[in-house]
Each structure stands twice: as C-alpha cells, then as structure tokens.
C-alpha cells in the first residue's frame, strides 16, 4: 500500500515542501530511495532500518520504494529519516494512514530510534506555518529554534516509539517551546573608545547610510575595537530581518546556544587565511559563508591586504547584489549577504608610518606598492576611508565619557526613517548606500553649491565615475543626519574628505579640493 507524509527540503535558507511517498509491494526484499537524494539521504536506509527493528517494529520482506517529490529539487541532509520511517510503518500496515493527515515531519533517527537534531529547523517551521500544517514534528534539540516562528503547533518526541504510540492513540502531544529569548544587547559600547572622533563619525555615517568603510592605522590604534562597535549603532533588525538572519545561522548550524532570535546585526571577523568557500559559501551541500553569516550585520576584514586576491575578488558580486549564488551542476543555491563591509589595514608594510612614537622603516616605493594592493575589486566599493591614529596616552583619561552607542543609534534610526520614506517606491533600496546613482542625480536633492564642488572634484580627476556617485551617496547620508533635504557643499566636502582621505588608493589625493 502507498503512504505519503509531508516533509521539507532546504534550498539555500528556504525550505520547500517535499512529499515522502512510500510503497511496500510484494516482491524481492529491497529498499530504494529515489527523487534526487544526496549521499546522506541514501544512507537513510541503514538508519531507518535499524531504528525500526530496534524500536520493536517489523521491516517486512517487501520491495520498499521511497520517492521524494518533487524529484527536481536535490534533497540533502538527514531530516528525511523520520518521515521515511513513518511512511514505511503506514505502508506496511503498522500505523493507520489517517494518523499522518496534516502533519509535517523532519528528523534524523539514531539506530535506537531516538530523534536527533537537523539543520534548518527554523525555515522548516516557517514553511509549516505558511502551509497551515496541523502539527510539525521536530527533534527535541530543534524545538527552541522551531518555536521562534510561532503560530504552528509543534511536537518534539524523544524517539520514534513514543511518537508512534501517540499517533496510534490519536493524541499527538504538543510540545511547548521554551520562552522566546533575545540575545542581550551588545556590551561593546562606543563610549569605551577614547578619542577617535573622526573614526566614530565615519562609523555613524556608515551605519546611517549603509556604506562600506576602510580603517587605516598603525597596530594598536584601535581599528578592531572601533569596528566591533559598529553593530551596536546599526538599526535594530525588524521581525522579518531577524528571522532571516536567524534562518541563515539555523541552516549553517551556527545558532548561538539557547537558540535566541538574532536581534542585532551579527559581527563576523574571518581570519585572512580563509578560503573563498569559507568567505562566500560553498561545499556540498552548499553552506553559507562568512559573508552570509554577517547578513544584516558587519563583515570585518582585519589586515585586509593579507587576504588572498581571488578571495577578495569573490566578494565583489555579493557586495553588489546583496546575495551569494552558488552554482552546482544540477541547480544553484542562493544565500542572502547584505553586509556592511569594514576593512582594516596598516598604513605601510611595517605598520608605523603615522605613529608619533615609532619610526617607519619602509621605503616610499614600498608604501606605494603596499597601498596599491587594495586597488581593484574592493576599493571602489568603499565609500569611507578613515585614518585611525594612536591616541596619545596622556589624553586617554580626558577623552573618556563621550557619547554612548544608544545615543548615536537614535540619530542613525532617524536618518534611516528619512531614507525609507525617500526610497519607498524603489524595490530593494532601503538606504543611501544602495541608491541608484542616476536616481540620486535626478532626485537626491543636490543643491547648487554642492553640485559645483562635486563637479570640481571630478574635473580635477579626483573622482572616478563610480567614485562620483559613491561620494554623492555618502553626502546624502550626511545631509540626512542633519535632517537637511538638500545636499549642500559642506555635506559634499565631508564626503570627499572620507573618500579621498587616508590611504587613498588609486584615486589621487586632492586635499585642495576639499577645503570648502
């Protein structure tokens, strides 16, 4: 007889409905799984067989065929164990078919029938809710994560035997998820950083408009300390964004313990030895990389010049599109990757070019070559270049007690509100950092004096074509922080200082242009 039960497959961070059909026909004993199963799914046969036998059920000598439909989506992972086992029990007459009506089930089976955790329980729960399933059966280790969704009844039995007993009795027990937790506010506060007012200003602009930044300064000047504080001034995630970020980590298996909903943008700081697959995503089955784990947060590349060139090259598309597409022979998978990129580098090979207390030992040619290494894919995508100098020890005490992150965040939130209203009609644009250049030219509110200054910079060769629009975007954000509908010369001047300032890279420095 034929049995069918609803389950789910993951593609990227989305779950798709899969129907697990099981047929047990008379014939030579056989157990086949069809419907584009990957390796771990094929191994289901062994786990399910052992779990059924050890759970006190029988695996009759029949020709058992499992079909995972639709057949054109590749099925990864171990989550089909449970629905396959339930399907076999129905198709061999050990469980009434009506028991499975309206149920969705995912779970890996141990050889003794216990239910083990699977990846991606959060997107599966979102799917079950969308499909209005009567109940979603998940392993106990996934209950907190699945419970983040709300609005879908959950059942988390310890083992197959207990589940089957409940189903036979007609009373599937609902398991209540633990109270929904939120990760506590970041304790790293901007007021911990002494001085560095220019760098803090740059971070505020970066957060307010969604602009990428590069911090250049000697070792120990506080670049990492500053970058770590950026998530604390980013706008709080909306419910939808929070679920999206949590879903990425659910699929990657990197959810923080306690399975809290990720409320604040993540901070990811991969080491410079990372592979392109580690940074961008990859593997088989494809897993999100650091750029996706930083979705709606900050991707910090310390010692950015030490990253291998092709690794940085690979970042280009995700930075442009806000998503990563991983192509595979039969299909492609995409992961969200909307990040604020913050790079950090030394001003010269030895690191001490701007240090008042140390002597730089680098030749001028070496410094030029060193900085030129940043040219190419990344430099044009960085709007804010900030010089971070070591704060003299004597001024440390005096400089403490500046603004707290939450005060800065209020200004960031206000500027974001203005931007949301401005870009209401544009799909996929929520902040100045992603605004189309031509749209800003026509409707960005550029005042005459601002326009004159920008044109002057362009005419003097201080700006590439792309740099022109990048400067305009940053200036728009600076004006929004002022709640000024017009982009005026002082806004342009500050944006130019950040674009042409420290470690200018391929665009030549033109300080005489930015004195306005």
Least distance (Å) between residue 396 CB and Zn ion: 24
Nearest to 201 by CA among 408, 417, 407: 408
Torsion angle of alpha carbons 284, 300, 234, 289, nearest 10°? 0
Least distance (Å) between residue 507 CB and Zn ion: 22
Among 10, 66, 252, 353, binds Zn ion (CB under 5 A): 353
Beta strands (DSSP E) in 171-303 are 213-216, 267-268, 281-282, 287-288, 298-301
Residue with Cβ nearer Zn ion (219 or 445): 219
221 binds Zn ion (CB under 5 A): no
Residue with Cβ nearer Zn ion (107 or 351): 351
Residue with Cβ nearer Zn ion (183 or 360): 360
Part of the chain binding Zn ion (CB under 5 A), chosen from 64-72, 169-177, 266-274, 353-361: 353-361
Residue with Cβ nearer Zn ion (362 or 390): 362
Question: Per-residue x/- marks for Zn ion, 333-352, CB under 5 A?
Answer: ---------------x-x--
Residue with tokens 């800065």: 408
Least distance (Å) between residue 386 CB and Zn ion: 19
For residue 45, count CB atoms less than 10 angstroms from its CB and return exposed for 0-12, middle for 13-18, buried for 19 or more.
middle
Least distance (Å) between residue 353 CB and Zn ion: 5
503 binds Zn ion (CB under 5 A): no
Least distance (Å) between residue 216 CB and Zn ion: 12
Contact indicator for 383, 343 with CB cutoff of 8 Å: no
Contact indicator for 412, 403 with CB cutoff of 8 Å: no
Contact indicator for 147, 178 with CB cutoff of 8 Å: yes
- Percent helix, strand and coil across the chain, each rounded to 5? 40, 15, 40
Contact indicator for 216, 388 with CB cutoff of 8 Å: yes
Question: Per-residue x/- marks for Zn ion, 354-383, CB under 5 A?
Answer: ------x-x---------------------
Displacement of CA 294 from its chain's centroid (Å)? 4
Residue with Cβ nearer Zn ion (13 or 348): 348
Q: How many residues in the shown chain lie near Zn ion by CB under 5 A?
A: 5
261 binds Zn ion (CB under 5 A): no
**Other CB atoms closer than 10 Å to residue 109's CB: what's the count?**
27
Least distance (Å) between residue 448 CB and Zn ion: 43
219 binds Zn ion (CB under 5 A): no
Q: Which residues bind to Zn ion, rule: CB under 5 A?
A: 348, 350, 353, 360, 362
């Amino acid at each position: 007889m034929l049995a069918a039960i609803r389950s789910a497959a993951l593609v990227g961070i989305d779950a798709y409905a899969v129907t697990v059909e099981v047929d047990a026909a008379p014939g030579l004993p056989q157990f086949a799984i069809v419907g584009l199963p990957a390796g771990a799914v094929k191994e289901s046969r062994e786990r399910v067989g052992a779990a059924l036998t050890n759970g006190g059920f029988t695996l009759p000598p029949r020709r058992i065929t499992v079909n995972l439909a639709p057949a054109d989506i590749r099925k990864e992972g171990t989550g089909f164990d449970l629905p396959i086992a339930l399907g076999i029990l129905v198709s061999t007459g050990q469980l009434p078919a009506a028991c499975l009506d309206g149920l969705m089930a995912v779970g890996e089976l141990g050889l003794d029938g216990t239910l083990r955790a699977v990846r991606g329980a959060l997107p599966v729960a979102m799917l079950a809710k969308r499909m209005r399933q009567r109940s979603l059966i998940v392993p106990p280790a996934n209950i907190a994560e699945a419970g983040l969704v709300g609005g879908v009844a959950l059942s988390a039995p310890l083992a197959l035997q207990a589940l089957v007993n409940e189903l036979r009795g007609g009373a599937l027990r609902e398991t209540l998820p633990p109270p929904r937790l939120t990760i506590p506010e970041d304790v790293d506060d901007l007021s911990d950083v002494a001085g560095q007012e220019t760098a803090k200003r740059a971070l505020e602009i970066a957060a307010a408009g969604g602009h990428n930044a590069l911090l250049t300064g000697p070792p120990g000047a506080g670049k990492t300390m500053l970058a770590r504080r950026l998530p604390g001034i980013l706008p709080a995630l909306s419910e939808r964004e929070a679920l999206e970020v949590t879903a990425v980590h659910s699929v990657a298996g990197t959810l923080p313990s306690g399975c809290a909903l990720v409320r604040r943008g993540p901070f990811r700081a991969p080491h410079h030895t990372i592979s392109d697959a580690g940074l961008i995503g990859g593997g088989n089955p494809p897993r999100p990389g650091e750029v996706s784990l930083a979705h709606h947060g900050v991707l910090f590349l310390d010692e950015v010049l030490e990253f291998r060139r092709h690794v940085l090259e690979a970042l280009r598309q995700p930075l442009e599109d806000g998503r990563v597409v991983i192509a595979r022979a039969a299909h492609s998978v995409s992961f969200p990757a909307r990040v604020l990129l913050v790079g950090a580098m030394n001003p010269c090979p030895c690191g001490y070019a701007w240090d008042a207390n140390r002597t730089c030992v680098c030749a001028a040619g070496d410094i030029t070559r060193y900085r030129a290494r940043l040219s190419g894919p990344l430099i044009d995508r960085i709007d804010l270049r900030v010089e971070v100098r070591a704060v003299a020890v004597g001024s440390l005490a005096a400089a403490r007690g500046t603004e707290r992150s939450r005060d800065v965040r209020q200004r960031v939130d206000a500027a974001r509100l203005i931007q949301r209203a401005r870009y209401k009609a544009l799909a996929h644009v929520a902040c100045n950092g992603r605004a189309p250049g031509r749209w800003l030219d026509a409707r960005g509110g550029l005042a005459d004096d601002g326009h004159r200054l920008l044109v002057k910079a362009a005419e003097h060769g201080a700006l590439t074509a792309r740099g022109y629009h990048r400067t305009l975007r940053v200036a728009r954000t600076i004006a929004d922080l002022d709640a000024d509908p017009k982009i005026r010369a002082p806004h342009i001047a500050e944006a130019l200082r950040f674009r042409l300032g420290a470690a200018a890279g391929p665009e030549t420095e033109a300080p005489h242009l930015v004195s306005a």
